């Protein structure tokens, strides 16, 4: 047990500080990655000179490259699809879809234009109006992408849910946002029917039945295929404006249930500009973002970023598998690849030989986001794939990449890079008042006002305002900036757990835990994990009459897994006679964590006797 703790302590410290201890051989390797190298395909980087871009490029310059609606206004789906379908790109592939079972389908920009028009008309027919919240809850099939774009065209606010969500996760989000329509599939319908009674505002459930097998529709359910057959194909664009809500993503905070982060149509300027300059998308690229739209990355960079740049992209329906992923790259000749550290560490685990079995020579540029990318992973990719992963940083609230490594500059392995042109980032002191000098650790903050900045948390304007101080948006992350202006992630400033790139609020898991009949109290923390960065550990005290046992642990884990989703269940459970609490009765997660990792307990003056 003690050994375990010591290991975790070292691991936790390693995660926090390894970035300063880049081994010498790594540094030497990086001295060879030269600035401005046109790369494998002879393409000049879109951002060729960082210093000049920061001086000369602002958001106005990027906004000028966006079309806007012909009659005035702005709509993210028009920028992503219509403007290409109505221009020279109409026959160009927008989507190469690879099904989990190996099926492939190709959709041109014109195909997506027509299909999204039809569905947008159908949504209108179902009463969807500007500002109505419409959610998707399905696997990554082409219909998911058609649905999300159609919602925006109809003027609705699109809300993508992970298809693996359990009933509590689905109900909380639909109820909180007052969703009007849900688009789902037979695979998820059982869960939807389970939560329906608690969702009086949900008027319609559209069921996409790809496999076409006959099935009965329940109350409020309509068939996607029938709707599409009956709907008009005429253009169906709602004249939205830049400040109209377009996207809602739920994100976890330290307290309370997940909150709806609201983005507006103007966000497309951020998606477009960062996809062009950070992901370095060129018209000839075949791009693959591995993220699901249930996570903001899968929306900003799995839909709007690449398509607003008129780039062809691959969507793979299946989950992670090293061989399967390499196969996708080989089959579609992917050139630009955007993934996440947990997946990269799993690829490392699968070994160099797994990569060598496939022809990955099409790749020219690779990026990563979501968690700290350890320097070793950057070095590994250089060795195994012949290219370094470029880390970048952003979050649901920022809507688009804020800090990044760019193709035209050297990478410092372990650093998130430098602020995007138009973004001002800084490190603030503990009180979030003074900017700190390079080298000092503090709160990572951004000067408010970029186009894809969230505009509010749904129905929680007070909480939204609490995230800003003196014109700075306080990100909730701790970081340092070095003398060269590179930012280095240190950790979260709050209790939020980052497991495999997904933020999980401890409160959400604790709430699910205490619904189990045996659980009296629950406290949840993140503990270091070599692959997923953190996994969830729950401390539980049991109600009278229940005895700790391995069986009970298993049962409780399954209970939470079913209610929430696969990433939000505790991998470890420890039973305690009671949990440390403040005098006001709040469970002291900080103390649980310090004890778990064998770190100093800090101020315990508020600890209940």
Phi, psi of 25 (to 5 degrees): -65, -30
Closer of 240 and 374 to ligand AMP (Cβ):
374
Q: How far is the CB of 478 from ligand AMP (least distance, A)?
A: 9
d(CA 585, CA 601): 18
Give the count of beta carbons closer than 10 Å to the beta carbon of residue 187. 14
Residues 493-532 that bind ligand AMP (CB under 6 A): 498, 503
- Radius of gyration (C-alpha) of the chain in whole angstroms: 24
Rounded to a whole number of angstroms, the minimum distance from the CB of residue 249 to ligand AMP is: 8
Residue 191 CA to residue 196 CA, distance in Å, equals: 9
Least CB distance to ligand AMP at residue 545 (A): 39
In angstroms, what is the minimal distance from the CB of 252 to ligand AMP?
A: 8
- 489 touches 15 (CB < 8 A): no
Q: Which stretch binds ligand AMP (CB under 6 A): 17-25, 285-293, 365-373, 541-549?
A: 365-373
Smaller CB separation from ligand AMP, 347 or 369: 369
Determine the Cα–Cα distance for residues 106 and 260; give it in Å rounded to an integer: 33
489 contacts ligand AMP (rule: CB under 6 A) = yes
Q: Which residue, 328 or 453, is less far from ligand AMP as judged by CB? A: 453
Q: Measured from the CB of residue 394, what is the shortest distance to ligand AMP in angstroms?
A: 6
Q: Which is nearer to ligand AMP, 504 or 591 (CB)?
A: 504
- Stretch 42-61 residues interacting with ligand AMP (CB under 6 A): none
Q: State the residue for tokens 């709050």.
A: 494
Task: Please identify, among the stretches 185-193, 224-232, 320-328, 475-483, the one whose residues bind ligand AMP according to the rule CB under 6 A.
Answer: 475-483
Q: Is 13 helix (H, G, I), strand (E, B) or coil?
A: helix
From 18-26, 174-182, 375-383, 470-478, span contacting ligand AMP (CB under 6 A): 470-478
Question: Is residue 395 involved in binding ligand AMP (CB under 6 A)?
Answer: yes
Give the angle 497-499-501 at the CA atoms, nearest 5°.
110
Residue 340 interacts with ligand AMP (CB under 6 A)?
A: no
Question: Which DSSP state fits 486?
Answer: -
Q: Which of 370, 421, 442, 523 binds ligand AMP (CB under 6 A)?
A: 370
Determine, following the binding rule CB under 6 A, whether residue 393 of this chain makes contact with ligand AMP.
yes
Q: Nearest to residue 479, comparing CAs of 492, 463, 466?
A: 492
Closer by beta carbon to ligand AMP, 46 or else 498: 498
What is the rounded distance in angstroms from the CA atom of residue 170 to the CA atom of residue 193?
A: 11
Give the separation between CA 439 and CA 420, rounded to whole angstroms: 20
3-state secondary structure of 131: coil
Q: How far apart are CA 91 and CA 209, in angstroms?
A: 27
Provide the minimum distance between the beta carbon of 564 and ligand AMP in the complex, in angstroms, as a whole number: 15
Q: Which among 209, 204, 223, 242 is positioned nearest to 124, based on CA atoms?
A: 204
Closer to ligand AMP by Cβ: residue 240 or 396: 396
Q: Shortest Cβ distance from residue 338 to ligand AMP (Å)?
A: 12
User: Of 12-20, 364-372, 382-390, 512-520, which segment contacts ligand AMP by CB under 6 A?
Assistant: 364-372
Q: Going along 482-568, which residue ranges are E strands?
A: 487-492, 497-499, 502-504, 519-529, 533-542
**Cα angle, residue 422 at apex, residues 420 and 426 outer, rounded to 5°:** 70
DSSP-assigned letters across all residues of 295-312: SHHHHIIIIIHHHHTT-E
- Cα(343)–Cα(340) distance, rounded to whole angstroms? 6
Distance CA 347, CA 339 (A): 11
Least gap, CB of 493 to ligand AMP (angstroms):
9
- Taking the least distance from each CB to ligand AMP, the nearer of 301 and 326 is 301
Report DSSP state, residue 213.
-
Question: 360 vs 378, which CB is nearer to ligand AMP?
Answer: 378
Residue numbers 138-177 binding ligand AMP by CB under 6 A: none
Does position 396 bind ligand AMP by CB under 6 A? Answer: yes
Distance between CA 201 and CA 246 in Å, rounded?
19
Task: Answer yes or no whether residue 371 interacts with ligand AMP by CB under 6 A.
Answer: yes
Q: What gap in Å lies between CA 541 and CA 573, rounded to an integer?
A: 10
Q: Which of residues 537-566 bind ligand AMP (CB under 6 A)?
A: none
Rounded to the nearest whole angstrom, what is the least distance from the CB of residue 365 to ligand AMP in the complex?
16
Question: Does 416 interact with ligand AMP (rule: CB under 6 A)?
Answer: yes
β-pairing verdict for 389-393 and 365-368: parallel
Which residue's structure tokens are 């005290």? 541
Cβ nearer to ligand AMP, comparing 63 with 275 = 275
> Is-contact 394 450, C-beta < 8 A?
no
Q: Which stretch binds ligand AMP (CB under 6 A): 51-59, 471-479, 507-515, 559-567?
A: 471-479
- Of the pair 227, 496, the CB lying nearest ligand AMP is at 496
Is there binding between residue 302 and ligand AMP (CB under 6 A)? no
The neighbour count for residue 211, using CB atoms within 10 Å, is: 9
Is residue 472 near ligand AMP by the rule CB under 6 A? no
Which of 160, 372, 570, 580 binds ligand AMP (CB under 6 A)? It is 372
CB 233 within 8 A of CB 213: no
Q: Which CB atom, from 22 or from 199, has the smaller least distance to ligand AMP?
A: 22
Q: Which region, judged by CB under 6 A, interacts with ligand AMP, from 38-46, 227-235, 363-371, 515-523?
A: 363-371
CB of 200 to ligand AMP, least distance (A): 30
Minimum CB distance to ligand AMP smaller for 251 or for 382: 251
- Least separation, in Å, of the C-beta of 605 and ligand AMP? 29
CB 561 within 8 A of CB 166: yes
Structure tokens at 515: 């619904």
Among 324, 492, 561, 581, binds ligand AMP (CB under 6 A): 492
CB 407 within 8 Å of CB 390: yes
Check binding of 477 to ligand AMP (CB under 6 A): yes
Please state, in angstroms and rounded to a whole number, the distance separating the CA atoms of residues 528 and 564. 21
Span 228-267, contacts to ligand AMP by CB under 6 A? 251
Q: Which is nearer to ligand AMP, 150 or 400 (CB)?
A: 400
Please report, as ranges, the residues that interact with ligand AMP according to CB under 6 A: 251, 296, 369-372, 391-393, 395-396, 416, 475-477, 489, 492, 498, 503
């Amino acid at each position: 047990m003690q050994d375990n703790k010591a290991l975790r302590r070292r691991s936790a410290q390693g995660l926090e500080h390894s970035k300063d201890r880049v081994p010498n051989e790594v540094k030497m390797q990086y001295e060879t990655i030269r600035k401005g190298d046109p790369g494998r395909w002879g393409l000049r980087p879109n951002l060729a000179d960082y210093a000049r871009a920061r001086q000369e490029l602002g958001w106005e310059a990027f906004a000028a490259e966006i079309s806007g609606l012909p009659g005035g206004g702005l709509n993210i789906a028009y920028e992503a699809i219509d403007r290409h379908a109505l221009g020279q790109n109409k026959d160009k592939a927008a989507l190469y879809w690879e099904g989990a079972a190996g099926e492939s389908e190709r959709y041109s920009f014109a195909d997506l234009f027509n299909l999204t028009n039809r569905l947008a008309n159908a949504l209108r027919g179902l009463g969807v109006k500007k500002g109505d919240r419409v959610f998707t809850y399905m696997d990554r099939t082409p219909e998911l992408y058609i649905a999300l774009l159609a919602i925006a065209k109809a003027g609705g606010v699109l809300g993508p849910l992970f298809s693996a969500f359990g009933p509590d996760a689905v109900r909380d989000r639909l109820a909180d946002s007052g969703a009007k329509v849900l688009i789902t599939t037979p695979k998820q319908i059982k869960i939807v029917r389970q939560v329906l009674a608690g969702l009086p505002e949900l008027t319609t459930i559209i069921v996409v039945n790809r496999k076409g097998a006959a099935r009965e529709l329940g109350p409020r359910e309509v068939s996607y295929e029938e709707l599409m057959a009956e709907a008009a194909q005429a253009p169906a664009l709602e004249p939205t404006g830049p400040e109209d809500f377009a996207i809602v993503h739920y994100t976890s905070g330290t307290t309370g249930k997940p909150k709806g982060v609201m983005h507006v149509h103007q966000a497309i300027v951020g998606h477009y500009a960062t996809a062009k300059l950070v992901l370095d998308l060129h018209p000839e690229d075949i791009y693959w973002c591995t993220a699901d739209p249930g996570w903001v990355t899968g929306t900003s960079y799995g839909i709007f970023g690449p398509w607003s740049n008129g780039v062809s992209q691959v969507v793979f329906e299946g989950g992670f598998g090293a061989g399967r992923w390499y196969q996708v790259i080989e089959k579609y000749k992917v050139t630009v690849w955007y993934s996440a550290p947990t997946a990269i560490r799993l690829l490392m685990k699968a070994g160099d030989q797994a990569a060598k079995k496939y022809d990955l020579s099409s790749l020219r540029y690779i990026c990563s986001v979501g968690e700290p990318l350890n320097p070793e992973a950057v070095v590994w990719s250089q060795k195994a794939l012949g290219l370094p992963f470029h880390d970048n940083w952003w979050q649901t609230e920022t809507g688009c990449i804020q800090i990044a490594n760019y193709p035209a500059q050297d990478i410092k392995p372990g650093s998130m890079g430098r602020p995007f042109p138009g973004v001002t980032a800084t490190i603030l002191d503990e009180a979030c008042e003074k900017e700190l000098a390079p080298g000092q650790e503090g709160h990572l903050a951004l000067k408010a006002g970029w186009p894809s900045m969230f505009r509010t948390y749904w129905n929680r304007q007070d909480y939204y305002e609490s995230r800003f101080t003196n014109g700075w948006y306080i990100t909730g992350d701790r970081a340092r900036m070095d003398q060269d202006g590179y930012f280095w992630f240190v950790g979260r400033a709050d209790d939020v757990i980052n497991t495999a790139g997904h933020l999980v609020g401890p409160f959400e898991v604790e709430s699910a835990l205490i619904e189990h009949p045996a659980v009296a109290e629950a406290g949840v923390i993140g503990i270091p994990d070599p692959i997923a960065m953190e996994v969830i550990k729950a401390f539980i005290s049991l109600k009278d009459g229940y005895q700790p046992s391995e069986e009970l642990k298993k049962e409780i884990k399954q209970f939470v897994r079913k209610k929430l989703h696969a990433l939000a269940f505790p991998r470890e459970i420890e039973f305690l006679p009671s949990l440390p609490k403040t005098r006001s009765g709040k469970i002291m997660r900080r103390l649980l964590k310090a004890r778990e990792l064998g770190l100093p307990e800090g101020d315990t003056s508020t600890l209940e006797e």
